[in-house]
Amino acid sequence: MSGSPHLVFDRALLRRRRDRAATTQHRVAPVLEAAAERLLDRLDDTTRRFARALEIGGRGIVAPVLRERGVDLVVSMDLSARQAAGARGLPVAGDEEWLPFAAGTFDLVVANLSLHWVNDLPGALAQIRRAMAPDGLFLATMPALGTLQPLREALTSADSALRGGAAPRVSPFPELRDGAALLQRAGFALPVADLEEITLAYRDPLLLLRDLQAAGEGNAVLARDGRIPPRALFPTALAALPAGPQGVEAALRLLTLTGWSPGPDQPKAARPGSATARLADALGTVERKAGERPG
């Protein structure tokens, strides 16, 4: 399986790490809460009220907020049974790549910092859309390209110097430009992708690695080097990280995805040529032909 070009992540290893993280992720609760708060603030942009929500990988943060916002039923699904049990919703141990829900089950789906470990992201998004009722809302955040970039570069450089080659030690992340296209490909209407950044600072860069471990976000790439790393690898890499007045900075670049399952009452683009007013009149200007100069 590890040789398949379609498999990037070791999902069995990820499940075990998320099991362990159920007892340690409280150490990084402020970061998880900040990401969830930014995502759930998007609910203020709609007057729609939701009755049946699925939260994927909420880590006990998302479900309580959804109930406070008036959602009657919240199902908490996680790859890890321990995480699902502690998520404070109706627990379901399930795989994002094989959703165990019937079509049209939910009118709201929220995935906070969980979908970046999915091998087939377009397929997972299509399954999520299928599980949603018409005119349902999908909200998700995941780390975007540029997250942990200095750490990635420092580890690659140290690996090359110590071993003469480098294996991936930081997960690949999607780009902003891919976000809306992924939603559209999965069948979502009104797709929107945007980016914001949470900057963390560490006086001791070793604490960055410990936070990643506490959150269950260690390297789960199938192509990782399974050998014991050289003793000097991490000290060398951490010493090379650029430091500022507050210490070593680590950027969490949040890619936020927003999309709606198609419904009959959603606004639709007008048919080409159906306009009844001229844009020039609306802007109070003079319409000119291509290449025509003023005067």
pLDDT bucket at 105, cuts 50 / 70 / 90: very high
User: Is the Cβ–Cβ distance between 192 and 180 less than 8 Å?
Assistant: yes
- Residue 115, SS3? helix
Mean pLDDT of 86-109: 96
Tokens at 74, concatenated = 């919240």
pLDDT for the residue numbered 171: 86
Q: According to DSSP H, which parts of the chain are helical?
A: 11-21, 29-40, 62-68, 81-85, 121-130, 149-163, 176-185, 206-214, 233-239, 279-283
Scored b (16 or more CB within 10 A) or e, 39-73 reads: bbebbeeeeeebebbbbbbbbbbbbebbeeeebee
Domains within the chain, CATH numbers bracketed? 11-263 (3.40.50.150)
Alpha-carbon distance of 15 to 95, in angstroms, equals 10
* Strand-pair partners of 78: 93
User: Is the Cβ–Cβ distance between 168 and 275 less than 8 Å?
Assistant: no
- Asked if residue 5 has pLDDT above 50, the reply is no
pLDDT bucket at 274, cuts 50 / 70 / 90: low
pLDDT for the residue numbered 229: 87
- Asked if residue 2 has pLDDT above 50, the reply is no
- Asked if residue 136 has pLDDT above 50, the reply is yes
pLDDT for the residue numbered 271: 61
Alpha-carbon distance of 76 to 258, in angstroms, equals 19
pLDDT bucket at 3, cuts 50 / 70 / 90: very low
- Residue 105, SS3? coil
pLDDT bucket at 295, cuts 50 / 70 / 90: low
More confident residue, 236 or 5: 236
